[in-house]
Structure 1
Amino acid sequence: MSGLLDGRVAIVTGAGRGIGRAHALALAAEGAKVVVNDIGAGIDGAATGESPAEQVVEEIRALGGEAVVNGDDVADWAGAENLVATALNNFGRLDVLVNNAGFLRDRMLANMSEEEWDAVIRVHLKGHFAPMRHAMSYWRAESKAGNPVDARIINTSSGAGLMGSIGQGNYAAAKAGIAALTIQAAAEFGRYGVTVNAIAPSARTRMTVGAGGAMAEMMAAPEEGFDAMAAENISPIVVWLGSAEAKDVTGRVFEVEGGKVSIADGWRHGEVVDKGDRWDPKELGPVVEKLLASGEAPTPVYGA
């Protein structure tokens, strides 16, 4: 039986464990050849000396699929370039880029260090841009050479990036940036045959279980029945977005949890009050009250 992704080549970053591993296995199960990227880091980004990507590649091959390992740092410019080259050198093409790699350095903003801020912004935001940029260089060159391009970029945002999350200001800012980057890239890359979408997943991973407290309780596996927090629940939308069927879907952010799928509705222009002249600050109190009353209240920040 043919799969949705037969003949397609995919890269998945941060694919050694958790959601990334589930993506790699699901893509391979639908016929994709997969580059499994992971540097073997802990949830705080520190090196562990492990090579979980190799285990995922072995799983894919044991099931009859094709996969190779890549251990580059996706937030390193040359590393991201080599990641794309790994797909091209091993499989001769690239069709799907799934940006998933990331880690946490949680702390309240009033106590957060510069290093904690920089590290999280780097791995999430630059770690999305750099692979995207090098993949796009390949696809643009193919398009300009007259070769048909039907490519996909699938980014990983978060509910924290869409709504905010107490104690995760660096992570929330990075994930919000990824949502905006997705919309921007979709507008720029469409002319070359490339769609760009994002997911905001909710699932049990090392990062969510490690959060402790109510979050850990919510993420706990059920004793029986459907496991709504299993990482594998997230991957079907990634597989579909990576397929030819999704060629007309771009610039969207999908929230995914268990069996639920929805499209997040981002920033939109609100009601306008136009004086036709410069405002006096003393006039603006009633105007702002009117504008606030006319719109919906924002979704509360997670943990607030």
Structure 2
Amino acid sequence: MSKLLDGRVAIVTGAGRGIGRAHALELARHGAKVVVNDYGVSAAGEGTDESPAHAVVAEIEAMGGQAVVNGADVADFAAAEAMIRQAIDTFGGLDILVNNAGFLRDRMLVNTAEDEWDAVIRVHLKGHFAPLRHAGAYWRAEAKEGRTRAARVINTSSGAGLQGSIGQATYSAAKAGIAGLTLVAAAEMGRYGVTVNAIAPVAKTRMTEGAFDTSAMALPEDNSPIVAWLASEEAGDVTGRVIEIDGSVITVENGWTHGASRDAGARWEAEKVGGALRDLLAEGPAPEPVYGTA
């Protein structure tokens, strides 16, 4: 096994099970020292149990690597700051942040309760913002002191956020927000030596089982080699990208781009909008269908 990440320090959130666990193990195999974060909740975000993170740390140590447990709620602003500080105090710095933690409260939009919306948006979107904000402040301070680190952030979006998914309005909104956050963070933090990318993984996990037919889905660990490479110093020229991983297929998502346009030369009259807009829509590609539609 190569030492692509030898000596680098990583945090992986939601790393007790599934895709996060696979990321933590893959980074460790490539030489990274890993803070294994997991709040221990169920797939619906209920209860707490640190044991999954302890088990992952034991696996890393058994292979000769170094890792520590962190049980923070990543959407708790102060707890996220303490998690960043734990990595720095334990391993002497921080080079890699993999934001992965999340859970589901799937409902059709008109059946979604306010607390379900708030919980999912909080864990996914604020749970990406809080660690990224505190890690970014650390990397900015390091750069100002002349110790610019080859820092890497890998966020976790989803096809649900990029194309939409029936019955997952809340999750889709959160994951779309993460894609937008990735673009802004990449633009703002590049001056400090930081790259920020997002993946949209496809895998058989406890979050997908029961929601979809997972019989042909990739395994969680099939997503992790891409994360390991994006976390490396070698990947310094790739930033602000969203990459879908579906088994053996890697797809670079293009996202929102400006399409055809018409200039009326003055304020549009409402009666003329329909014809112009229909012409523009006819010139562009049809949108990809929302997951779950016929």
TM superposition score normalised by structure 1: 0.95
* Equivalence for 1:99: 99
* Equivalence for 2:19: 19
* Equivalence for 1:8: 8
Q: CA deviation at 1:220?
A: 2.4
Q: Distance in 1 between matches of 2:150 and 2:249?
A: 27
Q: Where in structure 1 are there 5+ consecutive unaligned residues?
A: 222-227
Q: Distance in 2 between matches of 1:279 and 1:38?
A: 53
Q: Does 1:111 align with 2:111?
A: yes
Identify the range of structure 1 (92-101 vs 145-154) with the bigger mean alpha-carbon deviation. Answer: 145-154
* Equivalence for 2:280: 291
1:254 to 230, 243, 248: 243
* Equivalence for 1:244: 233
Identify the range of structure 1 (44-53 vs 272-281) with the bigger mean alpha-carbon deviation. Answer: 44-53
Aligned in 2, Cα 1:2/1:258: closer, same or farther, shift over 3 Å?
closer
| SS of residue matched to 2:136 | helix
Per-residue deviation, residues 148-190 of structure 1 (Å, max 9, x unmatched):
2210000000000000000000000000000000000000000
- What amino acid is aligned across from residue 92 of structure 1 in structure 2? G
Counterparts of 1:1-304 in structure 2, within 5 Å, are: 2-211=2-211, 215=212, 217=213, 219-220=214-215, 229-304=218-293
- What amino acid is aligned across from residue 21 of structure 1 in structure 2? R
Q: Where in structure 2 are there 5+ consecutive unaligned residues?
A: none
Contact 2:38-2:50 at 8 Å conserved across structures: no
Contact 2:50-2:71 at 8 Å conserved across structures: no
Q: Distance in 2 between matches of 1:269 and 1:103?
A: 33
Q: Distance in 1 between matches of 2:18 and 2:39?
A: 14
Q: Distance in 2 between matches of 1:30 and 1:240?
A: 10
- What amino acid is aligned across from residue 207 of structure 2 in structure 1? M
Q: CA deviation at 1:48?
A: 4.3
- What amino acid is aligned across from residue 193 of structure 2 in structure 1? G
Contact 2:4-2:31 at 8 Å conserved across structures: yes
Regions of 4+ moved over 2 Å: none
Contact 1:39-1:51 at 8 Å conserved across structures: no
Contact 2:139-2:148 at 8 Å conserved across structures: no
Q: Distance in 2 between matches of 1:158 and 1:2?
A: 29
Q: Distance in 1 between matches of 2:272 and 2:2?
A: 66
Q: Distance in 1 between matches of 2:283 and 2:230?
A: 36
Contact 1:128-1:155 at 8 Å conserved across structures: yes
Q: Distance in 1 between matches of 2:198 and 2:117?
A: 23
| SS of residue matched to 2:208 | helix
Contact 1:154-1:241 at 8 Å conserved across structures: yes
| SS of residue matched to 2:207 | helix
RMSD: 1.0
- What amino acid is aligned across from residue 215 of structure 2 in structure 1? A
Aligned in 2, Cα 1:282/1:121: closer, same or farther, shift over 3 Å?
same
Per-residue deviation, residues 233-257 of structure 1 (Å, max 9, x unmatched):
0000000000011000000000001
| SS of residue matched to 1:117 | helix
Q: CA deviation at 1:50?
A: 4.8
Q: Distance in 2 between matches of 1:173 and 1:2?
A: 38
TM superposition score normalised by structure 2: 0.98
Q: CA deviation at 1:284?
A: 1.1
| SS of residue matched to 2:100 | coil
Q: CA deviation at 1:128?
A: 0.1
